[in-house]
């Protein structure tokens, strides 16, 4: 009995090339090879990335002081400093399209990519997105590159064997093995990345970022992005961005986009809890209950109402807003998605046409002049596109600070602040801001909304 159990376990860990038939290993040589065939297939397409950027930093004797740092931050001279980052990437096409993490190559001025066979290429960023923590690169002068096949990540199941390939700690290309230990992890990763992640217990360490998570047929199922750790090392919980989203990034990069465009939902809501489920006619808690809809939302156009529950998108269950946005992002702008709605206990599938957040009304961007009380401040109308970009309240209206400028920052203004009034008069359009500032006497009063909080800033001129 023990012998047959051992044979079964070994048969599961034996890697096979794409298209090959899974079978019990027939010899000691086959058993000893382990994951060798899949590593030989996948490793040449995983690259090391060395990125560099120059940033201007200010040195101050009060740096870090909770009181004086705020007042003296603009008085010290800016000094250029070189920041280096080390990570991994995956080649996806023979002509040198590479995917990596935004936190590896974002804002880099110099990117060098080193292949498994030690060839080196300069690279440039085609498209990047901080929120998704993905970036698409193009190797200069590359042709005939080894590339990985993308697998439909919706077919990945918990318990599948996977390999993580990357360059941890800069020691060189390294392969670790494990299983898929969780799916639909939203909000679990650290940093700026938000959305839906594949969780794995394959050891992932600093430097693995941007590397490949592959199945036992050598197909890419995800891009390693983060670890959950208190010590900074792998504790058995790593996160990968699914290949389905990577495919959408590649499609937009090849279409000429330089920034990732995700469909706009135009709704707000909250997860359905166990206490709420019974009153909504749900057998089990799950889904998102809609609390607000913007008038321009595609959900509003499809007949959704506040109180409706969204339980699935394209047949995949959703229990949090990041999961829903992920599903919509995979479908892409201009595509259609099938949303399962529950209203009064009855479930119904509704087809939505997806699009970007509309630029209506026009932004009408205006910048204050050099002689203004607050020079160099840029303001504009609030529209759905601005709401999405600046993460404003869904139903926000009015005039928003797009860039406060140095004087605006010193005055306490921040990007995303909504200007409700100047010296007691309501601000209705961007063009009113500069004349109202010029009309200030000895005092300036700004009525500002930040998020859901309102406050008044007063200054003596």
CA 342 – CA 345 distance, rounded (Å): 6
- What's the token pair of residue 106? 């974002």
Whether 209 is catalytic: yes
User: Is residue 80 assigned to a domain?
Assistant: yes
| Residue where a domain stops, chosen among 353, 383, 414 | 353
179-193, 204-218, 270-284, 440-454: least confidently modelled range: 179-193
Q: What's the average model confidence in pLDDT over 428-432?
A: 96
CA neighbours closer than 13 Å in the CB half-sphere of residue 183: 15
Q: Are residues 290 and 323 in the same domain?
A: yes
Whether 103 is catalytic: yes
Among 380, 378, 364, 442, smallest CA distance to 408 is for 378
CA 147 – CA 162 distance, rounded (Å): 18
CA 35 – CA 15 distance, rounded (Å): 5
Burial classification of residue 158, based on how many CB atoms lie within 10 Å of its CB (0-12 exposed, 13-18 middle, 19 or more buried): exposed
Res. 195: pLDDT tops 50: yes
Check residue 14 and give its pLDDT.
41
Check residue 322 and give its pLDDT.
86
The residue to which tokens 């290309």 are assigned: 173
| Residue where a domain stops, chosen among 319, 353, 387 | 353
CA neighbours closer than 13 Å in the CB half-sphere of residue 96: 19
Q: Are residues 348 and 374 in the same domain?
A: no
User: Is residue 171 assigned to a domain?
Assistant: no
pLDDT for 46-63, tens place per residue? 999 999 876 655 555 555
Q: Are residues 271 and 344 in the same domain?
A: yes
Q: Are residues 344 and 431 in the same domain?
A: no
User: Is residue 239 assigned to a domain?
Assistant: no
Q: What's the average model confidence in pLDDT over 176-185?
A: 86
pLDDT for 276-305, tens place per residue? 888 777 888 889 999 999 999 999 999 999
**Among 85, 209, 329, 372, which one carries the catalytic annotation?**
209
Q: Are residues 66 and 101 in the same domain?
A: yes
Q: What is the longest distance spanned by two Cα atoms in the chain?
A: 92
Check residue 56 and give its pLDDT.
58
- pTM (two decimals): 0.81
Q: How many domains does the chain have?
A: 4
Q: Are residues 453 and 414 in the same domain?
A: yes
pLDDT for 330-346, tens place per residue? 999 999 999 999 998 89
Check residue 15 and give its pLDDT.
43
| Residue where a domain stops, chosen among 303, 330, 353 | 353
CB 198 within 8 A of CB 226: no
> For residue 435, what pLDDT band results from cuts at 50, 70 and 90?
very high
The residue to which tokens 């099938």 are assigned: 338
CATH of the domain at 301: 2.30.42.10
User: Is residue 341 assigned to a domain?
Assistant: yes
Q: Whole domain around residue 292: which residue ranges?
A: 267-353
The residue to which tokens 């891009």 are assigned: 223
Res. 409: pLDDT tops 70: yes
**Three-state secondary structure readout of the chain:** CHHHHHHHHHHHHCCCCCCCCCCCCCCHHHHHHCCHHHHHHHHHHEEEEEEEEEEEEECCCCCCCCCHHHHHCCCCCEEEEEEEEEEEEEECCCCCEEEECHHHHCCCCEEEEECCCCCEEEEEEEEEECCCCEEEEEECCCCCCCCCCECCHHHCCCCCEEEEEECHHHCCCEEEEEEEEEEEEECCCCCCCCCEEEEECCCCCCCCCCCEEECCCCCEEEEEEEECCCCCCCCCCEEEEEHHHHHHHHHHHHCCCCECCCCCCCEEEEECCHHHHHHHCCCCCCCEEEEEECCCCHHHHCCCCCCCEEEEECCEECCCHHHHHHHHHHHCCCCEEEEEEEECCEEEEEEEECCCCCCCCCCCCEECCCCCCCCCCEEEECCHHHHHHHCCCCCCCCEEEEECHHHHHHHCCCCCCEEEEECCEECCCHHHHHHHHHCCCCEEEEEEEECCEEEEEEEEC
**Among 88, 103, 181, 297, which one carries the catalytic annotation?**
103
Q: Are residues 48 and 135 in the same domain?
A: yes
Q: Are residues 29 and 49 in the same domain?
A: no
Share of residues in the chain with pLDDT > 70 (%): 82
**Among 100, 132, 133, 234, which one carries the catalytic annotation?**
133
70-84, 159-173, 303-317, 397-411: least confidently modelled range: 70-84
In this structure, the chain runs to a length of 461
**Mean pLDDT, the chain, integer:** 85
Q: Are residues 373 and 454 in the same domain?
A: yes
User: Is residue 157 assigned to a domain?
Assistant: no
pLDDT for 128-178, tens place per residue? 999 899 999 999 999 999 999 999 988 999 999 999 999 887 788 889 999
- What's the token pair of residue 14? 């034996």
User: Is residue 104 assigned to a domain?
Assistant: yes
Res. 193: pLDDT tops 50: no
């Amino acid at each position: 009995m023990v012998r047959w159990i051992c044979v079964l376990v070994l048969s599961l860990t034996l890697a096979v090339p794409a298209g090959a038939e899974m079978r019990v290993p027939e010899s000691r040589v086959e058993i000893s090879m382990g994951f060798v065939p899949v590593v030989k297939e996948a490793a040449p397409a995983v690259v090391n990335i060395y990125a560099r950027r120059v940033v201007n930093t200010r040195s101050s004797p009060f740096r870090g002081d909770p009181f004086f740092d705020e007042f003296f931050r603009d008085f010290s001279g800016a000094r250029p400093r070189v920041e280096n980052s080390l990570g991994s990437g995956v080649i996806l096409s023979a002509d040198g399209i590479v995917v990596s993490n935004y936190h590896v190559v974002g804002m880099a001025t110099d990117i060098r990519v080193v292949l498994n066979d030690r060839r080196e290429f300069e690279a440039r960023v085609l498209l990047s997105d901080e929120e998704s923590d993905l970036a698409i690169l193009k190797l200069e002068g590359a042709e005939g590159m080894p590339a990985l096949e993308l697998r439909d990540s919706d077919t990945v199941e918990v318990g599948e064997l996977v390999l993580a390939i990357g360059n941890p700690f800069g020691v060189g290309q390294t392969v670790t093995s494990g299983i898929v230990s969780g799916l639909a992890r939203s909000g679990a990763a650290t940093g700026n990345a938000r959305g839906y992640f594949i969780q794995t217990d394959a050891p992932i360490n600093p430097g693995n970022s941007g590397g490949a998570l592959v199945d036992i047929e050598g197909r890419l199922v995800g891009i390693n992005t983060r670890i959950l750790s208190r010590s900074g090392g792998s504790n058995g919980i790593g996160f990968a961005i699914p290949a389905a989203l990577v495919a959408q990034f590649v499609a937009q990069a090849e279409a000429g986009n330089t920034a990732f465009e995700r469909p706009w939902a135009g709704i707000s809501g909250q997860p359905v809890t166990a206490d709420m489920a019974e009153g909504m006619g749900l057998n089990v808690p799950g889904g998102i209950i809609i609390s607000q809809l913007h008038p321009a939302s595609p959900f509003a156009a499809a007949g959704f109402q506040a109180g409706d529950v969204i339980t699935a998108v394209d047949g995949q269950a959703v229990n949090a807003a990041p999961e829903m946005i992920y599903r919509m992002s995979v479908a892409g702008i201009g595509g259609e998605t099938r949303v399962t709605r529950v209203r009064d206990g009855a479930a119904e599938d509704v087809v939505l046409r997806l699009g970007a957040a509309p630029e209506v009304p026009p932004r009408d961007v205006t910048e204050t002049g050099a002689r203004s009380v607050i020079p160099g401040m840029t303001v504009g109308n609030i529209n759905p596109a601005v709401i999405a970009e600046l993460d404003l309240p869904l139903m926000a209206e009015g005039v928003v600070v797009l860039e406060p400028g140095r004087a605006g920052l010193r005055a306490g203004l921040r990007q995303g602040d909504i200007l409700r009034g100047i010296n007691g008069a309501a601000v209705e359009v961007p063009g009113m801001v500069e004349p109202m500032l010029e009309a200030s006497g000895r005092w300036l009063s700004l009525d500002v909304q930040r998020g859901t909080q309102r406050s008044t800033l007063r200054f003596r001129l």
